[in-house]
């Protein structure tokens, strides 16, 4: 089955099914403060193990290495990070870059892409973006033309 892709006005290319949870795929649950801090660290460095992450995030919070390891494990089980085993330790990487993650949270927050369109939120968002940056409307027109060009092919 071909995948439909959606390009948002901020220039992020994401799969349509990324926004449209199926019966099996639920919206992502909220992250705790520690999980979010750990994820922010991983976005900053690209990948890290538990000890490196503890040095960056856990030490200043005065929490144990095990607590940071548990947060990384929860992020892994939630599908927010991947992990590869090197020697005796896992190295973790974020699944999405920060920009894509924020977009996913925004879309989940309003109930998905269908809710954006059906409630007029997409039009309101467009108004806000173009009020702040007139070149965004030109870029959106280019993206729409590009998308229509691919559909006609």
Q: Are 94 and 42 in contact (CB under 8 A)?
A: yes
Q: How far is CA 137 from CA 26, 117, 130, in A?
A: 32, 17, 6
Question: How does pLDDT run across 79-122, given as a tens digit for each residue?
Answer: 999 999 998 899 999 999 998 888 788 777 767 667 666 667 77
3-state secondary structure of 25: coil
Mean pLDDT of the chain: 79
pLDDT tens figures, 29-77: 788 999 999 999 999 999 999 999 999 999 999 999 999 999 999 999 9
Residue 78: what are its φ and ψ, rounded to 5°?
Answer: -80, -5
């Amino acid at each position: 089955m071909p995948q439909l892709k959606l390009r948002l006005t901020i220039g992020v290319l994401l799969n349509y099914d990324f926004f449209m949870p199926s019966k099996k795929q639920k919206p992502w649950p909220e992250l705790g403060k520690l999980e979010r801090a750990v994820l922010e660290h991983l976005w900053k460095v690209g990948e890290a193990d538990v000890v490196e992450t503890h040095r960056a995030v856990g030490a200043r919070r005065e929490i144990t290495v095990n607590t940071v390891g548990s947060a990384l494990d929860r992020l892994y089980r939630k599908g927010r990070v991947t992990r590869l085993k090197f020697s005796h330790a896992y190295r973790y990487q974020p699944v999405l870059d920060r920009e894509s993650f924020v977009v996913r949270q925004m879309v989940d927050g309003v109930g998905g892409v269908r809710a954006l369109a059906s409630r007029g939120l997409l039009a309101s968002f467009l108004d806000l973006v173009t009020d702040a940056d007139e070149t965004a409307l030109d870029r959106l027109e280019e993206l729409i033309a590009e998308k229509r060009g691919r559909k006609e092919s």
